[in-house]
Each structure stands twice: as C-alpha cells, then as structure tokens.
Amino acid sequence: MSQTFFFKKRVRSLVIFCVVALICFASSVMTQFDLSQGIAAIPKAIVWGFSSFYPTADSFVYLSEIWVKMQETLLVSIAAAATAAIFAFVFAVFGSRITKVNGFIAMLSRAFANLSRNIDVSVWSIVLLLTFGQTPITGFFALFIASFGFLTRAFMETIDESGTDPVEALKATGAGYVPTIFQAVVPSSISQIMSWILFMIETNIRAATLVGILTGSGIGYIFDLYYKRMDYHTASLVVIVIVISILLIEQISNYIRRAML
C-alpha cells in the first residue's frame, strides 16, 4: 500500500514538472522568444555598458541637479508611504477578521484595498497624469494609492496574526471597541507595522524611477531626459545616485528595525 502512495506522489511531481515545462515552451514559441539568443546577447550588453555607460568628469557637472531631483523623489516616496500607512491602518482595522465592525464594512474596505493594490503603480501613474499633469503630485498620488492597497493588506494580516489573543482578552474584560484597538491591537502589531512601512518606503523609491519616467517628475524624469539625449554618461551617474540612495535608505531602515525589537 505504501508503495503505491510513494509511486502516486512521484507521478504527481512528474506531471506538474511536465506541465510547467510545456507552458514555458509553448509561450516562448508563441512570443518567438529565443532563450539562447537572449543569453548570447549578455556579453554584448556588458561590453556596451563598460564602453559607454559610465560617468565621465563632464557628467559630474550635473550632480547637484540630479541630487535635487533625487531628494524630491526620496521625500515623495516617504510621504506617500507615511500618508498611505495612516489610511491603511484604519482600513485594515475595519477589514480585519478580528476587529471588523460588521461584515459589510469589512468587505467594502477589503474590496477598496484590493482595487488599489491590483492595479499596478505604472497604470495609476498614467491614469493620474491625465488628471494632474506633469507634476510631483501625480507621482505622489500614484505611489500613495499603490502603497495604500499593499499596506492595507499587510496590516490586515499583521492584526489577524498578532492581535487575535489580546483582543479576545480585552473584550472579555468589558473594554470597548476603541480602547481595545489602542490598548491591544496597536501595541501588539506596531513593530510589524513599522517594518512594513519601512519596506514600503524602499519599494516606493525603487518604483519612483519608473513613475518619474511616466509622469515626468523626479529622478525618473531626469534619467529619461539624459538617456533620450543619448548622454549615457550622465544617465549612468543618475543610476549610480539611485543605487547609493537605495542602499543608504536600506541601511537606515535596517537600523530602525533592529532598534525597535
């Protein structure tokens, strides 16, 4: 009997593997994608990168200009994540299984969060561009909406996970709804919530480049500008500034995470 059990398991794994392989093969045929060609192109890309995509002394003239835009992008990313977090917390409390007021409001807030999360930040950028035009505000709103959706979902799971037991205990003491939120839900989930906000800030800075290209603001815009001017040296300097900023922010948020534990 145990023989057939293991045999069945092995057959199942084999079938799953074959199906995945088939999907890969079929989709590359349909899109005329050739893996070998793709791999063969890598050395050429590296050669190009080293021969022209590096900053020269001339491009450093633009450094202060780039830095101004980078600052703008960093601030917009942080502001979007922080503002989104406030709204997301309220929605998460209403949507969480353990702190919901009633089923209907919970469903509504979940649906709202899903809508803003499942539409990508790039789509939001283009949609908002039509309303607000080429300003940093457009970038802010695009990042805000995407962050809001993601954070609501993350907070909801955090509350469900870490708040269930204390919420039950406080309800049993006769505590009201609002005190239960502030005395049980907030303290038991705050460190996780802060961690998610820091993660969101990092994600936003990465996404801000793309959002900037699409909405014509921030660091993404300036990269796009130099790139299209075929000033690859300055464009590469922009990339270096972005990478350094992201590494810096990561270091800072790691430090905050450690300090909070």
Q: What is the per-residue binding string for another protein in 146-175, x denoting contact by CB under 8 A?
A: -------------------xx-xxxxxxxx
Between 49 and 187, name the residue whose CB sits nearer to another protein.
Answer: 187
Do residues 59 and 231 lie in contact, with contact meaning Cβ atoms separated by under 8 Å? yes
**Residue of the chain from 183, 195, 203, 253 that contacts another protein (CB under 8 A):** 183
CB of 148 to another protein, least distance (A): 24
56-75 positions binding another protein, by CB under 8 A: none
Please give the backbone phi and psi of residue 117, each rounded to the nearest 5 degrees, phi first. -85, -40
38 lies in the site for another protein, by CB under 8 A:
no
Regarding 191 and contact with another protein (CB under 8 A), the answer is yes
Question: Is the separation of the CB atoms in 121 and 142 below 8 Å?
Answer: yes
Q: CA-to-CA distance for 242 and 223, rounded, in angstroms?
A: 10
At closest approach, how far in Å is the CB of 94 from another protein? 17
CA distance 172 to 152: 27
Cα–Cα distance between 39 and 16 in angstroms, integer?
26
Q: How far is the CB of 186 from another protein (least distance, A)?
A: 9
For residue 39, which phi and psi values (nearest 5 degrees)?
A: -65, -40
Tell me how far, at minimum, the Cβ of 159 lies from another protein, in Å.
13
Which ranges of the chain does DSSP label H, i.e. alpha helix?
2-30, 35-52, 63-95, 103-118, 121-132, 136-172, 177-180, 186-215, 218-228, 232-260
48 binds another protein (CB under 8 A): no
Does position 259 interact with another protein (CB under 8 A)? The reply is no
Query: Is residue 179 within the footprint of another protein (CB under 8 A)?
Result: yes
Residue 167 Cβ vs another protein, minimum distance, rounded to whole Å: 9
Q: Report which of 102, 96, 116 is spatially closest to residue 159, judged by C-alpha positions.
A: 96
Q: Which stretch binds another protein (CB under 8 A): 14-22, 107-115, 119-127, 179-187?
A: 179-187
Q: Quick check: 178 binds another protein (CB under 8 A)?
A: yes
Q: Site for another protein (CB under 8 A): how many residues?
A: 22
- Residues lying near another protein in the complex (CB under 8 A) are found at 165-166, 168-176, 178-184, 187-188, 190-191
